[in-house]
Amino acid sequence: MDNYDGFKKEVYDLTKIDLSSYKEKQMRRRIDSLVTKHKCKEYHDYVALLKSDKEVFDEFVNFLTINVSEFYRNPEQWDLLTKEFIPELIKHSGQNLKIWSAACSTGDEPYSLVMALSQHLPLNKIKILATDIDKQVIATAKVGLYNAKSIANVPADLKKKYFTPVGNSFQISEDIKKCVEFKEHNLLRDTYPTNYDMIVCRNVLIYFTDEAKDEVYDKFCKSLRPGGILFIGSTEQVINYKDLGYKRRYSFYYEKN
């Protein structure tokens, strides 16, 4: 196919997604499969299609941002959050915690956070900022309808309390939805919010280059208040956490010094 560097520039102009910050071999393979699917011979043909067909454009952004999520993913880590870190944060900062779910995908993670917090705080005290680069997944998150697999790890009492069966799917409670504010945000480009008690960003940065990871982890650290917690995915780690201003509590929990 034709020039990939030129394609990356055109994609950035169209979407503000910087493909240079993703591992090229992995990302290019994903993109090439889409280009082939739409019977385009060259990247510039596919760009023309992206500009002319909204469905193809939405599919591309959704495909690019790799939206794979589920409630209480790695349940033992959420158990630790519920029993250790949330009480610790409340003791340090009081009941009005500032929590950011970054790259929140279809809402599974921020809604899981609300349910975990609800075991220590009344719902009217809980407010989560949830952000993602993809408008389509934010729209899905706001609807709050999930399949059985997505909610399989939700503790039984919370599942019973906060989900209503709708056909073969499950609708999350409006009371939980009210606790989450969804916004568009590009981790590689946009300004980060500040003074947060906890940031949750899981299983996203594994697709980024090492340089992009360091940049994001550094910005997360600046977004946390001293003693704030970064909760990442089980397959991720902050390699140079000391240089970036963290201390490691567990392999997936880092505290700002």
Residue 70 within any structural domain of the chain: no
In a domain, 146, yes or no: yes
pTM of the model: 0.82
The count of structural domains within the chain is: 2
Which structure tokens are listed for 34?
């889409």
The predicted pLDDT at position 192 comes to 98
Q: What is residue 1's predicted lDDT score, i.e. its pLDDT?
A: 59
Q: Would 155 be classed as within a structural domain? A: yes
Residue 15 lies in a domain: yes
- Kindly report the CATH number assigned to the domain that includes residue 217: 3.40.50.150
- Please report the pLDDT score of residue 66 as a whole number: 57
Question: What pLDDT was estimated at residue 207?
Answer: 82
Contact call for residues 176 and 114 (beta carbons, < 8 A): yes
pLDDT at 12: 86
- Domain assignment present for residue 173? The answer is yes
Write down the pLDDT at residue 30.
86
Whether residue 233 is found in the same domain as residue 106: yes
Distance of CA 21 to the CA centre of its chain: 16
Nearest C-alpha neighbor of 137 from the set 61, 240, 82: 61
- Residue 109's pLDDT is 96
> What pLDDT sits at residue 65?
60
Low pLDDT (below 50) residues in the chain: none
**β-strands 253-256, 246-250 pairing:** antiparallel
pLDDT, tens digit, 9 for 90 and up, residues 153-182: 999 999 999 999 887 888 999 999 999 999
Q: Are residues 108 and 203 in the same domain?
A: yes
| DSSP string of 31-57, one letter each residue | HHHHHHHTT-SSHHHHHHHHHH-HHHH
Domain span at residue 121 reads 75-256
Specify whether 79 is located in the same domain as 60: no
> In this structure, is the dihedral angle defined by the CA atoms of residues 152, 154, 160 and 161, taken in order, positive or negative?
negative
Rounded to an integer, what distance in angstroms lies between the CA atom of residue 50 and that of residue 62? 13
